[in-house]
A and B are shown apart, each in its own frame.
Chain A
């Protein structure tokens, strides 16, 4: 009985059906109000959003997550089975990478954090331990076509060190990332800052590296076959 259940859970057919199911759920979801900007899916950590969003907004994501859980089990069991039988390592590394990326999403879905602040020069952000980061200076450059070509803000951290944040250049402080989203220079300089905590990021990177390693190995194996 257990053996039969194991075989079924590790089967390729189940994996194919689960992948189809996740694809279908996500495809329907992409047209739903839940995934639109007004749905607020990117404003909260995933599990908090799933708890708070009404079911007509989130049903497709519940289905996708449920199927994904079984798909992960399927991938893990299939990988273990393949390793026991001494099959190629490359696809199993890809499976492991995929599982780590899903784990990363799980970690971020629980422990993620996001908060926006609109602050002028001299304004500051407080951390839970009482430490503050203060905006010293906000700057912007206008390009030849009248659009903002570059902008930045100088932040002073508690140690007195001055750091500049710009688009694509955040400041990492106490496990949080401080991101500069926008600035306005008139009537007075104001910066829109976002504080993020993405605890799954490192796991996701590790998963991506493992997946890529397996993928490269698979490409090398399949060359000329």
Chain B
């Protein structure tokens, strides 16, 4: 069923200027994830291959409300940038082998699936916020910043819920809602970063450019929290 994921990439890259083709590519990815889920009997959320595919699909899914928003009607370059971002991570996902092992007993709980899925929805929205920051610099329209704020705030809400569900899972799995590992430290950093970003909104319009830059930089912090920490540092969340 890997062809579903492979087919979504050119569709995103060539066709995502048009919303119906963007949706078609997303449906292919959802089909891929559904097939993986049925094969494994669980959500495909373990290992870099599956999580990157899930991340790519989350980016497209979380982009949809923005693509169909009144403010972004006809913004084809923005549609394509969302599609391009989803395609990039789908492409990276293909370079990793998929893990077909059964779920280790400690991960066999709905709290784990909720924790991870919410985190990826948040990461995806932080990615959309970064793209909207880029659009602000290209077009200079303040409307993009309002949308960036909305994307980041929704992402922050998902991320906070992910931390809560992770804490509940940790309490039942390890006896503590918090572990001092590099992943948890970077999770705190990412949460604090977007707390800072949301507070910065209160500084007024003269901070607009810095606000937009922070929205872009936040996605780099997100990527380091997700990929950098998992690959470079030893942690309870390492791949």
Mark A residues whose CB is within 8 Å of B.
12, 15-16, 19-20, 22-23, 26-27, 29-31, 35-37, 41-42, 46, 104-105, 108, 112, 114, 143-145, 147-151, 166-170, 177, 179, 194-196, 198, 201, 204-205, 208, 211-212, 215-216, 218-219, 222, 225
Contact = CB atoms under 8 A, between A and B. Distances in A.
Interface stretch (B23-31, B80-88, B166-174): B166-174
20 contacts: A12-B199, A26-B185, A26-B189, A27-B186, A36-B182, A37-B181, A143-B102, A148-B105, A150-B105, A168-B105, A168-B108, A168-B172, A169-B172, A170-B172, A198-B175, A201-B171, A204-B177, A208-B164, A208-B167, A222-B153
A148 B102 CA distance: 9
Contacts of B40: none
A30 B160 contact: no
A212 B177 contact: no
B231 interface: no
Interface magnitude class on chain B: 35 or more
Contact of B200 (A16, A41, A114, A151): A16
A19 B167 contact: no
A212 B160 contact: yes
B39 interface: no
Given A105-B178, A215-B157, 16 more contacts: A15-B199, A23-B193, A26-B185, A27-B185, A35-B182, A42-B179, A143-B102, A145-B101, A145-B102, A179-B175, A204-B167, A211-B160, A212-B160, A212-B161, A218-B153, A219-B157
Interface of B: 101-102, 104-106, 108-109, 111, 146, 149-150, 153-154, 156-157, 160-161, 164, 167-169, 171-182, 185-186, 188-189, 192-193, 195-196, 199-200, 202-203, 229, 233-234
A172 B154 CA distance: 36
Given A15-B199, A114-B175, A169-B172, A151 B185 contact: no
B178 A168 contact: no
A35 B180 contact: yes
A96 to B, nearest CB: 14
A148 B176 CA distance: 24
B164 A166 contact: no
Contacts of B171: 198, 201
A193 to B, nearest CB: 10
Contacts of B174: 179, 194, 196
A168 B102 CA distance: 16
Contacts of B149: 222
Contacts of A215: 156-157, 160
A194 B196 CA distance: 38
